[in-house]
Amino acid sequence: MRWPLALALLVCACSSRPETDALDRLRPCSAADGPTDGYCGVVDVWEDRGARTGRRIGLKVVVLPALKQDHAADPLVILAGGPGQGAADMAAGYEEILRPIEIRRDIVFVDQRGTGKSNPLECRNGRDAAMTEPGGLAARMRACLEAYRPRADVTRYTTDVAMDDLDDVRRFLGYSTIDLYGASYGTRAAIVYVRRHGEHVRTVVLDGVTPPDSRLPLYFARDAQRALDLLFRDCASDPACDARFPDLRRRLPALLDDVGAHPRRIRFADPQTGLPREVDLSRAMLGGILFTALFSPTTAADIPLLVEEAEHGNFAGFLAMGASFRRAADSVAKGMEYSVVCSEDAPRIAPGAIERESAGTFLGPATARSFLEPCAFWPVAHMDPAYYEMPPSTLPALVVSGALDPVTPPAWGADVAAHWKNARHVVLPGAGHFHVAPGESSTQCVVRMIAAFLDAGSAAGVDASCAGRSKRPPFFLSPSGPAAGPQAAR
């Protein structure tokens, strides 16, 4: 009779989790739900938070429990980008990446309303979602809007409402304070949560800052051109790249102009299926592929070689790259994206601003104008003018930017850090838009910094020396890689 009692006492002595905590409110995830060593659940919130009547939305939640029994009480809550990505859907892919943080604290993924499995406002366009000519976007979104009407009021899917949802989730899970990690649009969400519920925040990580007044997509063309100019600079300063692809700064605009003057139908092999496909290549499509390629220095390393191939009439590489972005495009719930952008950003874009900000860029005004077309008919919410102001904060904050980022440049991170007294801004010289993601060379460095920041509760003493060692990957000189191959002597 003594052994069971001794065993029970041993279990009680070794467990530091409270009798009731977040895991008691969830259930072990199935393989279809998320990581099988995680805990899954649904938290119901009112779609109309003010009236607290009518439709309710189930928000999917995934918690990866801390690995140490003697763990920190505050979890790291992940706020996804887009807008339109579901954080809970990302849990399985990010579990291994975030393991150094999971050692000491729970990691919480919550699908923002309208994303993932939380009444998703999806609007997919089949296999060509990442390559579709912009002209068809408005018609597609209008049809999806009609399909949403029986199950969603799209005016209630803005960031401020979603951050009130998140506080409901925090309370449901039993956390008194939380740490926030926001990436891209998730940084805007984190800033809004701090404004509305800052008393429940311990620290904040802002990775690729998109402030509330960023006015998407006003600066897309300007910031993409900045990233492309850096690519031209880096190729010209690299003897091997410059010798292999001289005068790239002139050649790429000439290629875009030629495609604009002579659209063509191209046959290529789909990289996901291996099957042959045909698409009508236009300047807008090629510019869009270039823009997306600049998000990661890994894909940007292919651009000089792909330009040369295209100059010789072979656009298959560009089109295969565009098709490979399809999965990322499908991960964004477009309806939720437009509920955010049309309410929060579009009303603050003055007439003529797009043309002014995109003058002299490779994208020009067409990308932003076509992106905003659905806002002409999208129902919108009224936003308080105070929403766009950076809230003052003394919370410890780690702000991370990629020097090569084509969409959230370091200037935005510096501006936010200047407003927050206890913020530290770290710039990665060789990084683009993604810093904590599968396949990105900066991931290990940034995760180590975040783990140290969370443990210390301050960014001041965090060792950020690895950030200075971040370098752009070498450019591809041939299809086989950075080493010059037989095609290099063409």
Domains of the chain, each with CATH number or no CATH: 24-490 (3.40.50.1820)
CA atoms within 13 A on the CB side of 72: 20
What integer pLDDT is reported at residue 486 of this predicted model?
46
For residues 179 and 75, give the distance between their C-alpha atoms in angstroms, rounded to a whole number: 6
Range 172-200 average pLDDT: 97
What integer pLDDT is reported at residue 6 of this predicted model?
36
pLDDT at 272 over 90: no
For residues 416 and 423, give the distance between their C-alpha atoms in angstroms, rounded to a whole number: 8
| Chain centroid to CA 267 | 31
pLDDT at 371 over 50: yes
Least confident of 8-22, 178-192, 381-395, 467-481: 8-22
Give, to the nearest 10 degrees, the angle between helix 283-293 and helix 303-311: 160
Question: Is the pTM here over 0.75, yes or no?
Answer: yes
Residue 227: closest CA among 130, 300, 306, 311: 300
Cβ atoms of 321 and 261 within 8 Å: the answer is no
Tell me: cis bond preceding 83? Omega within 30 of 0 counts.
Answer: yes
Mean of per-residue pLDDT scores for the chain:
91
Query: What number of residues does the chain have?
Result: 490
Element (H, E) at 240: helix 239-244
> How many CB atoms are located within 10 Å of the residue 8 CB?
10
Range 280-294 average pLDDT: 95
pLDDT at 126 over 70: no
Cβ atoms of 131 and 289 within 8 Å: the answer is yes
DSSP-based three-state secondary structure for 302: coil
pLDDT confidence tier of residue 103, bands split at 50, 70 and 90: very high
pLDDT (tens digit per residue) in 3-23: 333 333 333 334 345 444 778
Structure tokens at 400: 């991370």
Cβ atoms of 203 and 77 within 8 Å: the answer is no
Structure tokens at 54: 């009518």
Least confident of 8-22, 93-107, 244-258: 8-22
